[in-house]
Amino acid sequence: MVVIEFPHGDAAGARRATAEFLARHCPWADLDAVVLVVSELVANAIRHTGGWWRLCVRAVQGRLEVELADASPRLPTPRALDLSGGGGLGWHMVERLAQRLEVTPHTPTGKTVTATWMAP
């Protein structure tokens, strides 16, 4: 299991640690898809929560789980795409790349986003 927390972690460290974990424990996983999901979740937590966040990556019985808990009670919502530099792509990518996606609110203290992939 990989666990990275704010303020010691950053998006680059989360990507690196996730890639190393996948190489050891989930060689079947789509490395690019999982690392992109981790990058988006961590970047969104840094950008939108203004507080604590924690990433946990684990493999359990042929299932890969990426959990990002953060301090914001605001649930992620897709935004309209703004191709002139305003963003709006991240959550759409996360929704498409994860096989399963859950958001668990922890009112009023935050939420956990869980992305899951199953081994073939």
- Domains of the chain are 2-67+75-118 (3.30.565.10)
Binning the chain into helix, strand and coil, the percentages to the nearest 5 are 35, 30, 35
Q: Indicate whether 104 pLDDT > 80.
A: yes
pLDDT digits (tens, 9 = 90+) for 31-41: 999 999 999 99
pLDDT digits (tens, 9 = 90+) for 11-20: 899 999 999 9
pLDDT band at 7 (very low <50, low <70, confident <90, very high): low
CA dihedral 69, 71, 76, 80 (to 10 degrees): -130
pTM for the structure as a whole? 0.89
The confidence score (pLDDT) of residue 102 equals 97
CA dihedral sign, ordered 89, 45, 6, 25: negative
pLDDT band at 97 (very low <50, low <70, confident <90, very high): very high
The arithmetic mean of pLDDT across residues 72-82, rounded, is 82
The arithmetic mean of pLDDT across residues 20-39, rounded, is 96
The confidence score (pLDDT) of residue 4 equals 74
The confidence score (pLDDT) of residue 27 equals 96
